[in-house]
Amino acid sequence: MQNRMMITGAGSGLGREIALRWAREGWRLALSDVSEPGLQETLRQVREAGGDGFVQRCDVRDYSQLTAFAQACEEKLGGIDVIVNNAGVASGGFFSELSLEDWDWQIAINLMGVVKGCKAFLPLLEKSRGKIINIASMAALMQGPAMSNYNVAKAGVVALSESLLVELAQQEIGVHVVCPSFFQTNLLDSFRGPTPAMKAQVGKLLESSPITAAEIADYIYLQVAEGQFMILPHEQGRAAWAMKQKNPQSLYDEMTAMADKMRAKARQNLG
């Protein structure tokens, strides 16, 4: 390990906090995002925290931009040891309200962006025997109501990570998948949904979270060091996942009740 890390979606939120956590250990970071100002701010904070690196604008929907980013990592850092596929967007809405465009947008960024990131950087990871850290979500495991396209994209990230875990073991490439619950982040900036009420509900969940992005980054750092594959940063999330494994039906019943409540609330708002 030469302490070189690539992060997508590094211009804000969890991506930035992961960069800062590893920067404090003196890592060199390759930071990408669609937001140039966000990237510059992350790089400034990374240098203050004791790390260094470079930034490159990259839209994870475009494979050629990711391969160009991988090439830049090879030229500027001599390779890469850890990749963090973190870039993501939020969306919500009941299945009947979501358009196929909403589905395409969500899958293109949150799932295929991770697939393309892994694909573009695999040759470098084979050389360094590095690690892949994919950022999924508790939505991948819990499938809450009114976010089917988000649930499906994030569940795909978990399935991809499980596939890579077994396929890449022989090449000594480590794989980790992170499933955070709601936390204080700017995910709402990218939120896309059919109703403003849905955005407001998600906003409340984000604000009421007891855990910050910095704490999640710290938890990821420790769990990766321990070699943990599935990383669940929230205590509530770990409890919910344990419950679902033991008694899936009880969780489905809870989610059904939640969907009814959401519909009732939406009707009230319209009324």
181 backbone dihedrals φ, ψ, rounded to 5° = -85, -165
In 10 A of CB 119, how many CB atoms? 14
Per DSSP, the three-state class of 147 is: strand
Contact 233, 220 (CB under 8 A): yes
Place of tokens 């906090």: 17
Given the residues 63, 150, 221, 252, select the one marked as catalytic.
150
Nearest to 106 by CA among 120, 95, 121: 95
| Continuous segment of H or E residues that includes residue 40 | helix 36-48
Per the annotation, the verdict on 150 as an active-site residue is: yes
DSSP for 232-251, written as a single string: ---HHHHHHHHHHHH-HHHH
Assigned token pair, 236? 């509530």
| Continuous segment of H or E residues that includes residue 190 | none
DSSP for 142-169, written as a single string: H--TTBHHHHHHHHHHHHHHHHHHHHST
- The amino acid occupying position 158 is V
Q: Which residues pair with 231 in a beta bridge?
A: 178
The set of catalytic residues is 150
